[in-house]
Amino acid sequence: MSTFLPRLLDLSRFLVLLLPLSVIGMAANAQDKPKLGGTIVATVGNEPTTLNLDITTDFYPYVVGGPIYSKLATLGPDAQPVPDLAKSWEISSDGKVYTFHLNTGVKWHDGAPFTSEDVKFTFEKILGVYHGSGQFIFKKVSAIETPDADTVVVKLSEPYAAFFTFIARDGRIMAKHIYEKGAVLENPANMKPVGTGPFRFVAWNRGSDITLERNPTYFMPGQPYLDKIVFKIIPDASARLVALETGEIDYIPAYDLQTSAIERLQKSKDITVTSRGHESWAAITELMFNMDKAPFNDVRVRRALTQAIDRNFIVDKATFGLNKAATGPFSSEMAWAYTPDVRIYAYDPKAAEQLLDEAGVKRGADGVRFHAKLVAFRGTDIFARTAEIVANQLKAVGVDVQVSILDRATAIPQVYNTREFDMFIHSLTTGPDPAIGVERQYVSSNIRPSPFTNAAGYRNAEVDKLLTDGAVATSREQRASLYKAAQKIIVGDAPLVWLFEDKTFSAFRNEFGGLHNWGPDANYDLGRAWWTKGKDAP
């Protein structure tokens, strides 16, 4: 996404009229044209905790709920914004005022008209309040005006490069007439959603499946192409794989595709394995410490544990060599902001033991220095394998680790809301912009009971300033300099062990087109797919 900011600022002086989104969904091959009809059956390894995508950044709600909602704009090729609910927009020359012109005649799935008031309500009452990154992004918004039903004007207190990227990636618009009644987090629509997207919610059979059907009043001409999308909930990784190979299901998304099976699937003439459509993630799998618990509140202990973990071994054994060891809180995929010039924690168990002794965490008569509980998600095989390796490597330096594999619905509140954990293995995106993916995890003001925030309890005033300044700097060069300085400090403080950069794959049966080829977040929306055996589209 290194080209996004300069191009966005270049466009700020005139009206932006871009290609309709339907063009983005076209496949590269001329013969692979959209067809009408059919059902795609996808799988998810974990049941979503919600289908309101503005109150979470969790993977499963995004995959299942993506086709239900629309945004003002979405990220198309090269991470450039392309129209969605907004047919066009203007950005003021100082980069502080965004004027969005909305498509007319758009309806919610319940038949109510969509208006600018829905956008204003979503931004002010939901996205800017409950979303893990939105709380910070919308601190820069000074006013949201709706001069008429088809126009939204967003005013920023200062230029903020990440704003447009954020709303084009995460800004699903929710219905005011539904969410203005009662508490947002308790609204029934979180489980029975109403959107303006290409597919509408039909049913959720707990532990079994979730069904979406074609929205006949969708505002994009000719779309969607499929009749239905069915998400089958299959926790067992091997069962998902067999279901794909036998044709019981058609699609396995990232996180649910066994890394050990990728080479095998790539040999199949019936299945496509792709890393496209995940480009905005720049994700890193990490081991998080709870810094508000002893002995993790001692930087010497955190550094020692970092040295006790062989990341290259984890890459080889847990990811089958598909990934590479991470160096810090920024992925190298975000090249413009990344620096390798940080403190290096070489794998050195002897040095780790010496540092633990210096910290006063000595071995007892049983050889154990302390006991700790390591939490990881069930259903994601790479996390489970990584957790077992980490436990074995820490045992070698006297740390007795109990691995606890939990459902996401149990683990997320335990880690992020009540913070009842010692260590936690998971993967978080650092893209598409550091102000969205990185800042949320390290600024001290984001230590709060909400998913995918600063659950480590990391506090460093200098880092707070560097990250917040990096988000509002007007040039990419300034931002890069601030972010690189922040990386050096964060790595020195060792609030986490950054294990490896995720190279993410999804797999689908070849009888479906329009998947993963229209933008850097295509993995979050199956609503633009088509069945190649369907009827010819007009």
Q: Tell me, what's the pLDDT at 507? A: 96
* C-alpha distances out from residue 483 to 167, 247, 278, 326, 463, Å: 22, 46, 23, 16, 9
At 480-527, the pLDDT tens digits run 999 999 999 999 999 999 999 988 899 999 999 999 887 888 888 899
pTM: 0.76
Does residue 26 register a pLDDT over 70? no
The alpha carbon of 345 is separated from its chain's Cα centroid by a whole number of angstroms, namely 27
Q: How many CB atoms lie within 10 A of CB 373?
A: 14
Q: Tell me, what's the pLDDT at 28? A: 38
Q: How many CB atoms lie within 10 A of CB 274?
A: 17
Q: If DSSP codes are grouped into helix, strand and coil, which group holds residue 41?
A: strand
What letter does residue 114 receive in the DSSP assignment? P
In-domain check, residue 203: no
Mean pLDDT score, 44-72: 95
At 392-405, the pLDDT tens digits run 999 999 999 999 99
Q: Tell me, what's the pLDDT at 255? A: 82
CA angle 453, 454, 460 (to 5 degrees): 145
Q: How many CB atoms lie within 10 A of CB 533?
A: 10
Label residue 78 by pLDDT band (50, 70, 90): confident
Q: Tell me, what's the pLDDT at 493? A: 98
Question: What is the CATH number for 365?
Answer: 3.10.105.10
At 169-203, the pLDDT tens digits run 999 999 999 999 999 999 999 999 999 999 999 99
Does residue 13 register a pLDDT over 70? no
Mean pLDDT score, 289-316: 98
Does residue 157 register a pLDDT over 90? yes
Does residue 79 register a pLDDT over 50? yes
Does residue 15 register a pLDDT over 60? no
At 461-487, the pLDDT tens digits run 999 999 999 988 888 899 999 999 999
Looking at every residue in the chain, the average pLDDT score rounds to: 91
Handedness of CA 217, 219, 225, 227 (dihedral sign): negative
Q: Which residues contact 514 (CB under 8 A, 6 or more apart)?
A: 25, 26, 27, 34, 225, 528, 529, 530
Domain that holds residue 447: 283-501
Q: Tell me, what's the pLDDT at 21? A: 34
3-state helix, strand, coil in the chain (%, to 5): 35, 20, 45
Q: Tell me, what's the pLDDT at 14? A: 31
Mean pLDDT score, 293-307: 98
Mean pLDDT score, 88-102: 96
Q: Tell me, what's the pLDDT at 80? A: 80
Decide which of 90 and 134 is more confident. 90
What letter does residue 209 receive in the DSSP assignment? E
Does residue 331 register a pLDDT over 50? yes
Rounded CA-CA distance 467/230 in Å is: 41
Does residue 456 register a pLDDT over 90? yes
Angle between helices 381-395 and 311-318 (to 10 degrees): 140
Q: How many CB atoms lie within 10 A of CB 28?
A: 6
Q: Tell me, what's the pLDDT at 258? A: 87
Among 45-49, 341-345, 347-351, the least confident range:
45-49
| Percentage above 90 pLDDT, the chain | 78
In-domain check, residue 374: yes
Does residue 532 register a pLDDT over 80? yes
Total domains in the fold of the chain: 1
Q: Tell me, what's the pLDDT at 518? A: 79
Look-up of token digits 């939490």: 375
Mean pLDDT score, 45-66: 94
Angle between helices 299-307 and 349-358 (to 10 degrees): 160
Does residue 8 register a pLDDT over 70? no
In-domain check, residue 144: no
Rounded CA-CA distance 389/167 in Å is: 38
Q: Tell me, what's the pLDDT at 5? A: 35
